[in-house]
Chain A
Amino acid sequence: AQSVTQLGSHVSVSEGALVLLRCNYSSSVPPYLFWYVQYPNQGLQLLLKYTTGATLVKGINGFEAEFKKSETSFHLTKPSAHMSDAAEYFCAVSEGMDSSYKLIFGSGTRLLVRP
């Protein structure tokens, strides 16, 4: 079975500082990896995803993530944090068979942005 580990349930940064949210995965097959963001009282919004090809993936709102197979990692970064980035972030790996699959989520990281 596949799994995802997110290091740090809370990450606090100053506005304008680098954002780094960590995600490590466990998968027996080449993984499909996702980062989702959830604002309070809302559903999940896709930030970016890795399937195959280029290992540096760019997403919305200035976020990007790099797939490192040797480290089984898919960390999320943003060069300069904005107050509006404060939210819960989930890393996920997809697992499935046939044409149905499910997302296995990490436990989430709450990003706090200080003025």
Chain B
Amino acid sequence: DTEVTQTPKHLVMGMTNKKSLKCEQHMGHRAMYWYKQKAKKPPELMFVYSYEKLSINESVPSRFSPECPNSSLLNLHLHALQPEDSALYLCASSQDRGVGIQETQYFGPGTRLLVL
């Protein structure tokens, strides 16, 4: 099973709202990722968690707040977003076998976010 699930599939929010995106995997992967994908563009990395600890933050604005409550779950908390934050948010996971071993990342279907 190589499935990564994401909820919700679609989300519309105002600029003053607080919402959360959820991602779940049951493959025993210990690395999880958030990517942002604008229309007709490639995905861009936002955050990486390794063994439930934040290991990479690509200078993402603080209105995006990631959380990894356990090895199977990854959340992205959203607050005071801007219309330009509208995009497809993709979650991915991979094995984490240690230094120098780069495992395949498996992607979820994404959450399509619209900020009004």
Interface residues of A (CB under 8 A from B): 32, 34, 36, 41-46, 49, 51, 90, 94, 96, 98-103, 105-108
Contacts and interface: CB of A to CB of B under 8 A. Distances in A.
Contact of A99 (B45, B58, B90, B97): B97
Given A45-B107, A98-B99, A103 B45 contact: yes
A42 B109 CA distance: 5
A5 to B, nearest CB: 12
A104 to B, nearest CB: 8
Given A43-B107, A43-B110, A49-B104, A98 B55 contact: yes
Contacts of A90: 42-43
Interface of B: 4, 6, 31, 33, 40-45, 48, 50, 55-56, 58, 90, 92, 96-99, 101-102, 104-110, 112
Contacts, number: 62
B99 A43 contact: no
B99 A99 contact: yes
Contact of A44 (B40, B96, B97, B107): B107
A43 B109 contact: yes
A100 B106 contact: no
Contacts of B102: 32, 51, 94, 96, 101
